Amino acid sequence: MYYQMSDIVQAKTLFGEVKKDALELLVEHFIKKLNFQTGRCVQGVTSETLCILKLHDFCKNISLLEQTLEYGYAMCDEAFIREEHLPKELLTTGENQKNNIEYVDVYGGPNDEVQRIKQALFETRGNKKAASKNLGIDRTTLWRKMKRYKIA
């Protein structure tokens, strides 16, 4: 599987296609692999984290991307790998894009996110602070998502 994924990335690079799509596929693949190996359920990376990863040329060194995600995965105790979970040397290069954080969910799109939010609110009896902690997101992020998806 490793060589197949690296061939995909090289092919995309050679034909001038967007490398960020390949990076997103690789991130998804490595997180699923780590979830399988550890039995944990990290759901993805934040868009801020993905932007930081896109600033680096991992297409030439996929094993470095895997090691970076393994580090972030090990440091993460939430549902999503965030900027602070990445190695510090990765954060010192490039400009971080901190506005409008969205979450990239490797297990589905917005409908799954709505279901997870509703489930977390149900389990916590509407307690937004506890629900946001269970989801691994900030309370204000939960509030914005509830507003966006019109969840009362």
Domain span at 129:
108-152
What gap in Å lies between CA 43 and CA 98, rounded to an integer?
20
Long-range contact set of residues 99-105: C-beta below 8 Å, sequence gap at least 24 = 100/47, 101/46, 101/47, 101/48, 101/141, 102/46, 102/47, 103/43, 103/44, 103/46, 103/47, 103/137, 104/24, 104/27, 104/44, 104/45, 104/46, 104/47, 104/50, 105/43, 105/44
**Residue 129, SS3?**
helix
Determine the pLDDT at residue 31: 93
Model confidence at 12, in pLDDT bands (50, 70, 90)? very low
Contact 124, 90 (CB under 8 A): no
47 and 112 assigned to the same domain: no
What pLDDT digit, counting tens, does each position of 108-148 carry? Answer: 455 678 888 888 898 899 999 998 888 888 888 889 888 88
10 and 33 assigned to the same domain: yes
96 and 118 assigned to the same domain: no
Span between the terminal Cα atoms of the chain, in Å:
43
pLDDT-above-70 percentage for the chain: 70
98 and 142 assigned to the same domain: no
52 and 112 assigned to the same domain: no
Model confidence at 30, in pLDDT bands (50, 70, 90)? very high
18 and 80 assigned to the same domain: yes
91 and 150 assigned to the same domain: no
Question: Model-level pTM?
Answer: 0.51
